[in-house]
Amino acid sequence: MRKLWAPWRAKFILHVKKDECIFCTKPKERDEEAYILYRGKYNFIILNIFPYNSGHLMIAPYAHKSSPEYLTKEEYTEMFELLQWSIENLRLALKPDGFNVGFNIGRVAGAGYEGHIHLHIVPRWNGDTNFMPVIGDTKVISVGIEDTYRLLKPLFERES
C-alpha cells in the first residue's frame, strides 16, 4: 500500500484516547472544537473526524448504550428525526447523489466504539469510488473537516 501524506490529520490521531468513549467526552467540549453540528435533547450530531467521505456525520445518544434495542422511545425517535434532517441538510450543502446510512454494532461489525451506539450518514457521489481506493488503496477526501463544519453548521442552527 502506498501512503498519502496528510500531516493535518495528526492532531486528530494524537488526541484519541483508546480508554475513553468519544461519544461521552465530545459533548463536554465546545461545538467548534468537537465538530458538533447540533445538540438535541437526547442525541447530538457530530462530524466524523476520520470520514469515509466529505460530510460524513454521526448521530449518537448522550446516554452510553451499546445497541439500538437499549434506546428509549424518545432517544430512538429523536435519532431518526435527526437522520431525516441531516440528509436534508447534506443534500442542500453538498448535493450528494446518495447516502450510506447505518450502525456498526460490535467490533466484528466494524464498530470503533462498540460500547456507544452511533448512526453513520455518509454522503456518496457518482464516481466517488475511483482508481485511488481500487488501484492505489488510498482514499481522497476532497473537502477538509474545518471547511465542511463551516458549511454545515449554519444549516443545523436553523429550525428543523
Q: Which residues are designated catalytic?
A: 118
Q: How far, in Å, CA of 6 to CA of 142, rounded?
A: 12
- Backbone Cα Rg of the chain: 16
**Long-range contacts at 9-12 (CB < 8 A, ≥ 24 apart):** 9/50, 12/49, 12/50
Q: How far, in Å, CA of 115 to CA of 131, rounded?
A: 35
- Name the E strands within 40-130: 43-47, 57-61, 98-103, 119-124
56 touches 101 (CB < 8 A): no
Q: How far, in Å, CA of 121 to CA of 99, rounded?
A: 7
